[in-house]
Amino acid sequence: MNTYAVRVAHNKEVVGIFVAPNFDILAAIVDEACDPGICEWLRLGAGGYFVSDATEAQWPPCDDKDEDALSGGRLSSGWLEFMDGGVWQPMPQQGATT
């Protein structure tokens, strides 16, 4: 499994952070949000996304507020460094491997 940051290529708008075993699965997941063909990806190394303050939200979600458990969080410094210094790649055609 690999972890990817995905953004829209022409304006760098964030699509999300995804975990997938290959590009076909990655594209299928991204397709839930937007057309993967307009996106680019960056493979992330060690790092994460965490909430900076205590939250009452729980996983699995118990109610509507729990679905927003990650709001107000931030990326780890490691992931920010990957995103700033990495080389973003266009999403590959279907059938490509990671």
51 inside domain: yes
Structural domains counted in the chain: 1
pTM of the model: 0.84
82 inside domain: yes
Asked if the model's pLDDT at residue 88 lies above 90, the reply is yes
Strands 39-44 and 89-90: antiparallel
Asked if the model's pLDDT at residue 20 lies above 80, the reply is yes
Q: What is the mean pLDDT of residues 6-25?
A: 96
- Return the residue matching tokens 């493979």: 43
Q: Which domain holds residue 67?
A: 2-90
Q: What is the mean pLDDT of residues 34-38?
A: 95
Among 97, 94, 96, 78, smallest CA distance to 17 is for 78
* Sign of the Cα pseudo-torsion (37, 42, 48, 52, in order): negative
95 inside domain: no
The order of strands in the sheet holding 39-44 is 14-20, 2-8, 39-44, 89-90
53 inside domain: yes
Confidence at residue 98, expressed as pLDDT on a 0 to 100 scale:
52
Confidence at residue 46, expressed as pLDDT on a 0 to 100 scale:
95
Give per-residue pLDDT as tens, 67-82.
677 777 889 999 999 9
Confidence at residue 33, expressed as pLDDT on a 0 to 100 scale:
95
| CA angle at 21 for the pair 62 and 10, rounded to the nearest 5° | 85
79 inside domain: yes
96 inside domain: no
68 inside domain: yes
80 inside domain: yes
